[in-house]
Amino acid sequence: MNETVEKDELMMPAQVALHVRKMISARTLKRGEPLPSYRELASEMGVAVRTAMRGMDLLVEQGIVRRQKARGCYVNRELSAQGRSLKTVGIVHTASYSFLLSQPYLRQIMQGIGDGQGHLDVQIFAMRKEGFVSAARLGDRQVDGVIMLGVESDAFVEEFSTWGVPGVLVDQVSEKLYMDCVACDNEAAARDAVQRLVGLGHRQIRYVGHDARRITQVGRSRSLMLRSSDRLERHDATVSALTAMAGVQWEEDILSDGHPMLIYDIVTDWQKATERPTVILAEDEPLGRDLIREFTEHGVKVPEDVSVCVLAQPRISEADGTLTGCGFDFVAMGRTAAEVLRKRCEEPATAGEPGAHRIGCEWMEGSSTREARA
């Protein structure tokens, strides 16, 4: 088989799929309306019946077409060049329902999503519980647009971008902007935190964060390589800010997920050191609280003996307010995501190219940080 024929065999099913998409859009076909048979479609486009079937296979995978045995193919998701109302939003999350509802910042993002104008029907897809999300599953639940909440897989985001479903990535920025992203302004947070700590006289600083890359099992048959842009950005921005500060000595510890003994090691190493860091700068609130708890269990007083500061925590605190650090408005993050998604769904012609939308932070004074002792 020559190269031209191979290329045609790869491209023609995609052209069939595009032709049917345009047909559904131009004729404003509704869910459940029948589509041409394979033979009719093959005759209309001048291709083999097998090619027409493969083109429909692509649309079935994307959730646009539903195939019914012995009856033919039907519209499963309506398409419109003029856009459609955002009535049902799918929340796609790689973890479980319990994790989604147990984390304060995630609850606040969900609150923001529901704060927008007009009632939204929310369908939650927790991939660790339900298995991998497909375009067909989104179509079955009549999802108009998707908000990916902390989905840290560039491969999945790229795959999703081929499904033809409007989407917004929240709390994460993909390596390529396949879709709109709403995330924290981590560079500004790191710069502000380092400047404030140096202003308090801290010249020996230790940054503690989690490994930004890991592999997780999603469902029974598929694993995803996850890349947390938040963790990467916070780490790189903190290193840059510390390096730029004259007279500051700093070091870092990167923890592996699921290994709490490493926090124990950080505390015991601090106790053994002859020149101890005067402040621990943690990447987020949960890690900061874990460190304070471990220091306390070892008889180390915070902030009398060592200060603890965090790069990210909810601005609307649901805890005791002890942590010093950068506070982000996660309710605003959810609200922004819903607004961007609504525009993508209802005004696709004017929505423009996908972009990154950053949520700013404000400094929150807590009791976990004090001036460094001379």
Q: Kindly tell me if the per-residue pLDDT of 96 is higher than 50.
A: yes
CATH level 3 topology of 3-75 = Arc Repressor Mutant, subunit A (1.10.10)
269 three-class SS: helix
d(CA 69, CA 58): 17
Give the tens place of pLDDT for each residue, 318-358.
Answer: 677 799 999 999 999 999 999 999 999 988 877 788 899 99
Which position has the higher pLDDT, 70 or 290? 290
What separation in angstroms does the CA of 147 have from each of 13, 84, 203, 223? 29, 16, 42, 21
Q: Per-residue pLDDT for 74 more than 50?
A: yes
Question: Is 186-329 the same fold as 88-183+332-359?
Answer: yes
| Annotated domain spans of the chain | 3-75, 88-183+332-359, 186-329
Rounded CA-CA distance 370/315 in Å is 20
Taking only the tens place, the pLDDT of each residue in 34-50 is: 999 999 999 999 999 99
Q: Which residues have a Cβ under 8 Å from the Cβ of 20 and sit 6 or more positions away?
A: 35, 41, 55, 56, 59, 64, 65
CA atoms within 13 A on the CB side of 40: 7
Report residue 240's pLDDT band, with 50, 70 and 90 as the boundaries.
Answer: very high
For 231, 290, 308, 322, the CA distances from 294, given in Å and listed in that order, are 22, 6, 12, 15
- Within 8 A by CB and 6+ apart from 40, the residues are none
Determine the topology of domain 186-329 in CATH.
Answer: Rossmann fold (3.40.50)
When comparing pLDDT for 9 and 67, which is higher?
67
pTM of the prediction?
0.82
| Lowest mean per-residue pLDDT among 40-49, 227-236, 311-320, 362-371 | 311-320
Cβ atoms < 10 Å from Cβ of 93: 23
As a whole number of angstroms, the distance between CA 218 and CA 224 comes to 7
The angle, 0 to 180 degrees and rounded to 10, between the axes of the packed helices 3-26 and 38-45 is 110
Distance CA 369, CA 371 (A): 7
Fold annotation for 88-183+332-359: Rossmann fold (3.40.50)
The pLDDT tens digits of the residues spanning 171-215 come to: 999 888 889 999 999 999 999 999 999 999 999 999 999 988 887
